[in-house]
Amino acid sequence: MTSKSTFDVEDKYMAPFFVKQKISIERGEGVFVWDEEDNRYIDFTSGWGVTCIGHAQPVITEALTDQSRKILQNPNSGLTYSPARARLLELMHTVLPSHITHLFFSNSGAEANDAAIKLARKVTNRLDVISTHKSFHGRTISTASATGQATHREKFNPLMPNYLFVTYGDLDDLRQALNENVAAFILEPVQGEGGVIIPSKEYLTGAAKLCRENGTLLIADEVQTAFCRTGPMFVTGALDVKADFITMAKGIAGGFPFGAFAMTEEVAEKLEYGDHGGTYCGNPLGCAVAHAVIKYLLDHNVSENVARMGDICLDTMKEWQQLYPTLINEIRGAGLLLLIEFKDEEIATQVSDQCLAGKLFVRQTQGNGIRIFPALNINEDELREGLAIMQKAIESVIA
């Protein structure tokens, strides 16, 4: 096919949920992708945070090939044991916070969040769930109801009941909202879709303490932050935040659709046969890929690379803030989850368009922000090549 024929087929038959960029990507390697006409682009979105160790990563290809020759899906699904699943469980146990003991696998982050909310209500025998303004937890009706952004909620009324919202980073607001009816507080340790909002450590540890005192379970939504995106394997683990559930997806399997939620022993003891399930949950193919990705992160000390590349990004972007004060409001980020906040949405849109014209993919977020979250194993030359394109895009908007 050519790009033109690909455009025609997708525009004719795909559901109208996305405004498409007129680029048809055929292949990738590392942080680079090529369209059907063989034009090369740099991907600073890592497929929206999922291709954490790059496109067409050989260890993923090998895991897919090796496992697919054995079995994709067990007979009776989760009712039979799986060596691929056991290997992943064993590896996950070494990287999760020590107080987290049990896991279950899902197909996506939204599904993991949905399950954690459902099970928190069962464990506590309470109904209310607190979330935060500007949060994002998924696109199922339950997780959309838990999302603190009107654009993701209001057009889907009636929403699920018993969701309350508090200000992110404000412990007093949370304290006032907690009562004997609150089953769970679902919290992103860094708000990604909300604009890369980074709270203080005191907020996260304080929120965990307030929840514990109220008998409310803390659900840490680490779908975007886990697996070294901000540096450590888990933000909550690095900060010693004692969550009752941790949800994860995106980077867990390097682009293969996969997710998980994990829980404490105390939570697991109150759950029983039939409380949750799923046809594809923990299928051998997904488990093999996730194992290969997590092992790569560990073997290649990717956490250290993230810290180093993240510092280069922040230093460079802060220089831009000094050079272009009429365009840039603020620079913020942790590791390789960063955002440039521009003065208004029009400027951000123009910069984003100019980046694409320069063959760099970035993600416009919250109107006036541009989010940068490339593959975690990006090297300095690749990073600086992309940053140079972005700086040129900013300068072209000024011109």
Q: Name every residue whose Cβ is closer than 8 Å to that of residue 1 and which is 6 or more positions away in sequence.
A: 9, 24, 36
Confidence of residue 17 (pLDDT cuts 50, 70, 90): confident
Q: Is the pLDDT of residue 1 over 80?
A: no
Domain ranges of the chain: 60-299, 315-372
Would you say residue 86 has pLDDT above 90?
yes
Provide the percentage of residues in the chain whose pLDDT is more than 70: 100
- Mean pLDDT of all residues in the chain? 96
Is 66 annotated as catalytic?
no
Pairing status of strand 217-221 against strand 40-43: unpaired
- Residue 121, amino acid: R
From the list 136, 185, 256, 361, the catalytic residue is 136
pLDDT digits (tens, 9 = 90+) for 168-219: 999 999 999 999 999 999 999 999 999 999 999 999 999 999 999 999 999 9
* Residue 93 pLDDT exceeds 80: yes
What DSSP state is assigned to residue 358? T
d(CA 374, CA 329): 22
pLDDT of residue 20: 78
Q: Write down the pLDDT at residue 296.
A: 98
Instruction: Compute the average pLDDT of residues 280-304.
Output: 97
CATH 3.40.640.10 holds for 60-299: yes
Spatial contact of 20 and 12, defined as CB atoms under 8 Å apart:
no
250 labelled catalytic: yes
Question: Which CATH number does the domain 315-372 belong to among 3.90.320.10, 3.40.50.1390, 3.10.20.30, 3.90.1150.10?
Answer: 3.90.1150.10
Rounded Cα gap, residues 98 and 92, in angstroms: 11
> How far is Cα of residue 51 from the mean position of the Cα atoms in its chain?
11
Cα(325)–Cα(394) distance, rounded to whole angstroms?
11
pLDDT for the residue numbered 19: 79
Q: Which amino acid is at 125?
A: N
Q: State pTM to two decimals.
A: 0.96
For position 153, what pLDDT does the model report?
86
With tokens 């100019």, the residue in question is 354
pLDDT exceeds cutoff 90 at 354: yes
Q: Is it the case that residue 225 has pLDDT exceeding 70?
A: yes
pLDDT of residue 306: 98
Per-residue pLDDT, averaged over 307-328, amounts to 97
pLDDT mean over 292-306: 98
| Residue 244 designated active-site | no
- For the stretch 18-71, pLDDT in tens is 877 889 999 999 999 999 999 999 999 999 999 999 999 999 999 999 999 999
